[in-house]
Amino acid sequence: MPGPLHGFRIVDLTSMISGPLATMILADQGADVIKVENPDGGDHTRAANNRRNGFSASFLNNNRNKRSVALDLKSPAAREAMLRLLSTADVLVQNFRPGVAERMGLGEDAVRAVAPAIVYVSISGFGETGPYAQKPVYDPLVQAVSGLASIQAGSDTERPRLVRTIIPDKLTAYNAAQAITAALLSRERTGQGQHIRLSMLDAVIAFLWASDMGSQTFVGEEIPQQQAASFIDLIYETATSPISAAVQTNREWVALTRALDRPEWLDDPRFKTPALRQRHIDERLMLTQEALRTRSAEDWLERLTQAGVPCAPVLTRSAMLSDPQVIANGIIEETEHRGAGRLRQARPAARFSASRGGPAQGGAALGEHTAEVLAELGYSGEQIEALAAREQAA
C-alpha cells in the first residue's frame, strides 16, 4: 500500500539541510516531492565533500525519494513553468532569505494566484523580522543566539560549547514536516491553505524550553545559571571501553548500589533522597566512576542489567552499525543507487502498519526528471526541448 501521504504533491525550492530533510521526511511517507533546482549546480550540498560518482553523501542523505527538475527561475519561461507546476501542488517549501521569494515572483500572493489553497512554507534562520532577519545563517550562529551553546557549556560562567551535530537544522526540519502535515489535515477539513513561517531560532528555543529553561519559567523569580549542576557526563570509563548508566528513581539508586557492591552509599546523608543526590551530583558521579573502573564494560553491563539499572554501551559510528539492537530493529538499510552504487542509510524512523510505501529511491541527478515533470504539466516534446535550449543559453 502507498505511503500515508500518497497523492499529495510538494514542490521543494529548498537547499542545504533544514528544508531538504523536511521534504524528504514527507517523501519517505509517500508524498510526490519535486525538487526544483538551479541548473547551475543545484542544491549546494551536491558539491559537498565525501562523494562517489558525482553524488555527495550529504545530498543523498537529505533528498531520497524526490524528483529533480532543473529550472533557472530568473528566466520568464522557467518561472511560467514553475507557476504551472505550483498550480498542481499542495505544498510549496522555500528557505530563501526573507524577501527573496517575492523578488523572484514566487511570494505567497503570486503563488496563491495560481494555487489558492496551497500550503506555503517559509523556513528562515532568524525569522522574517528583527535586526538579524537578513543575516546569512548557519547552524553555529543559531546555537549561539538560542542559548544552546551556553547550556552545552554547563554554566553561564564556562566557555560556551557547540553541540557536535547540526541540531538547529534538523530540529527545524522535523518541526516543518509536522507543521506541513498539520496544515494539510486542516485544509482537508476547511479547504483553506495556510502560510507556515518557521525559523531555526524558533525551533531551537522551543526545543530547549521543555527541559533546559526551567530557571527562566517563573516570571519575577528567574534563577541565574551561574553554576552547573554537574560537569560530569553520564559516560563512564571501565577497564575496557566506556559505558553509560543513569539512575533517577529510588529503586534504580538502590539497584546501582547493589550492582556496584556499595551498600554504604545508602546510608550516606548526601544521597538519602533524589533531591540530595541531585545537589551532590558531582560527588555521586565521581564515586560511581571510581567503582566502574574496576571491571570490563561487558561485566558491568551484565551486572547493571541484571540489577535493573538503565545502562548501555557507548558505541562509535562504525560499531553502532553492528549493534544487536540496531540490527534487530532493522534501522540501517542498504540500497542500490543507479549512480552512486550501494548505499547504507537509516530507514525512516516512523513505521506505519498499513501504509509502508515502496522501496526507497535514491537522490536524483540534477534535472533528472525535468522532461518527465514538464510532460505531466502538458508541455509537448518540442516545448520541453525549447525550454531546455533557453535554459542552456541563459
In order of start, what are the domains of the chain with their CATH numbers?
9-209+364-393 (3.40.50.10540), 235-321 (3.30.1540.10)
Across all residues in the chain, what is the average pLDDT?
95
**CA 246 to centroid of chain Cα atoms:** 26
DSSP 26-39: HHHTT-EEEEEE-T
Whether 226 shows a pLDDT value over 70: the answer reads: no
Spell out the SS3 assignment of 347-360. Answer: CCCCCCCCCCCCCC
C-alpha–C-alpha distance, residues 29 and 184, integer Å: 14
Of 207 and 389, the structure prediction assigns the larger pLDDT to 207
H or E element that contains 85: helix 76-86
C-alpha–C-alpha distance, residues 151 and 148, integer Å: 5
pLDDT in tens, 326-363: 999 999 999 999 999 999 999 999 999 998 777 889 99
Angle between helix 18-28 and helix 167-190 axes, rounded to 10 deg: 50
Residues 6+ apart with CB under 8 A from 251: 308
Q: Which of 32, 43, 139, 169 is catalytic?
A: 169
Known catalytic membership, residue 299? no
Whether 230 shows a pLDDT value over 70: the answer reads: no
Owner of C-alpha cell 533528472: 368
